[in-house]
Chains A and B, each alone.
Chain A
């Protein structure tokens, strides 16, 4: 069982649709990061949220950190083929001082 559970694991949608990806845990995190990874490349940071209830927007992407800092969501509005990739959430815990990654959500946006 992973400390961070992401859902769904796979998502295939049409261009223009909206979607939400979830990252859930029973543990409290000091921060929550979202990364995007393209085939053959390493993950690249999209956003870091550190305050419970925090909402950050990055163009068509909206990230939210749960009030209790145990979960997060990523919402994409009007998805485009360029959004295709693997989305990874990662939680930072003060205990152990390390990042823990979720299993990832593989998104495919069809034109």
Chain B
């Protein structure tokens, strides 16, 4: 069965370190998204990609970057981790950009100390 997987599921890192969260999907979807989830804020879009070599900033993109070198993967990099980036991060993919189901990974809980 097709799926979307995130790794690691949990990570603790120190302030100032670079961190990369992996996202891999086997749906062959062109559209991939990274969200962060914090209490009271629902899901906020960090970055998104509509295809290979395409990346776009979402509403909370400062301090984050993504790259899309193939269809399956959209890694999220925190250039210099800050305590404000402690959150649960979700990756998602979809067939269309909107109006269709977004399939989510199980999330990565990141703690910056």
Contact = CB atoms under 8 A, between A and B. Distances in A.
B106 A42 contact: yes
B43 A31 contact: no
Given A50-B99, A98-B58, A42 B107 contact: yes
A75 interface: no
B101 A45 contact: yes
B106 A31 contact: no
Given A98-B48, A102-B42, A104-B42, A44 B99 contact: no
Nearest to A6: B42
B42 A2 contact: yes
B74 interface: no
A43 B35 CA distance: 11
A96 B78 CA distance: 24
A100 B43 CA distance: 8
B92 to A, nearest CB: 7
Contact of B105 (A30, A42, A45, A100): A42
Contact of A99 (B41, B98, B107): B98
Interface residues of A, number: 28
Interface string B1-35: 00000000000000000000000000000000101
Nearest to A50: B99
Q: Which of A6, A31, A99 has the most CB of B within 10 A?
A: A99
A94 B98 contact: yes
A84 to B, nearest CB: 17
The 4 A-B pairs of least Cβ separation, nearest first, read A42-B104, A92-B98, A97-B97, A101-B43
Interface of B: 33, 35, 40-45, 48, 50, 58, 90, 92, 97-102, 104-107
Interface of A: 2, 4, 6, 9, 30-31, 33, 40-45, 48, 50, 88, 90, 92-94, 97-104
14 contacts: A2-B41, A40-B106, A42-B104, A43-B43, A43-B102, A48-B101, A94-B98, A97-B97, A97-B98, A98-B33, A98-B58, A99-B102, A103-B40, A103-B42
